[in-house]
Chain A
Amino acid sequence: MASPPQSLTTLLARLAASGADFVLVGGLAAVAQGAPLTTMDVDVVHRREEGNIARLVAFLEEVDARYRGRPSGQVLRPTREALLGGGHHLLTTSLGPLDVLGAIEGGRGYEELLSDSIAVEVEGQRVRVVRLEALAELKRGATDARDRLVLAILEDTIRRRQPR
Chain B
Amino acid sequence: MAKHALEDLSGAPAPPAYGTDETLLDLLAELTPEERLRWNDRMATTILELRNGFAAAELDHAARPPGRERS
Q: A interface vs B, CB < 8 Å?
A: 4-9, 25-26, 28, 31-34, 38-41, 43, 67-71, 74, 76, 82, 87-90, 92, 96-97, 99, 101, 104-105, 118-123, 127, 129, 138-139, 142, 144-147
Closest A residue to B61 using CB positions: A118
Please give the distance in Å from B36's CB to the nearest CB on chain A: 10
Residues of B participating in the A interface, judged by any CB pair closer than 8 Å: 1-6, 9-13, 17-24, 26-28, 39, 41-43, 45-47, 49-51, 53-54, 56-57, 61, 70-71
Minimum C-beta distance from A162 to chain B (A): 14
Q: Are B6 and A31 in contact (CB under 8 A)?
A: no
Given contact pairs A67-B6, A97-B27, a sample of 4 additional A-B residue pairs in the complex whose CB atoms are under 8 Å apart: A8-B46, A32-B51, A67-B5, A90-B3
Question: Is B18 within 8 A of A146, CB to CB?
Answer: yes
* Contact B53–A122 (Cβ < 8 Å): yes
Residues in chain A near residue B51, CB distance under 8 A: 32-34
Check B27 against A7 for contact (C-beta < 8 Å). no
B1 contacts which chain A residues (CB < 8 A)? 25-26, 43, 104-105, 138-139, 147
Q: How far is the CB of B53 from chain A (nearest CB, A)?
A: 4
A82 touches B6 (CB 8 A): yes
Q: Is the interface of B mostly helix, strand, loop or mixed?
A: helix
- Report chain B residues within 8 Å CB of A25: 1
- The 4 A-B residue pairs with the shortest CB-CB distance in the complex, in nearest-first order: A69-B12, A69-B23, A32-B50, A68-B23
Smallest distance from the beta carbon of A99 to chain B beta carbons, Å? 6
B43:A122 contact, CB within 8 angstroms: no
Q: How far is the CA of A35 from the CA of B5 in the complex (A)?
A: 25
- Whether A8 pairs with B6 at a CB distance below 8 angstroms is no
A76-B5 CB under 8 A given contacts A8-B43, A68-B26 = no
Distance between Cα atoms of A28 and B27 in the complex (Å)? 18
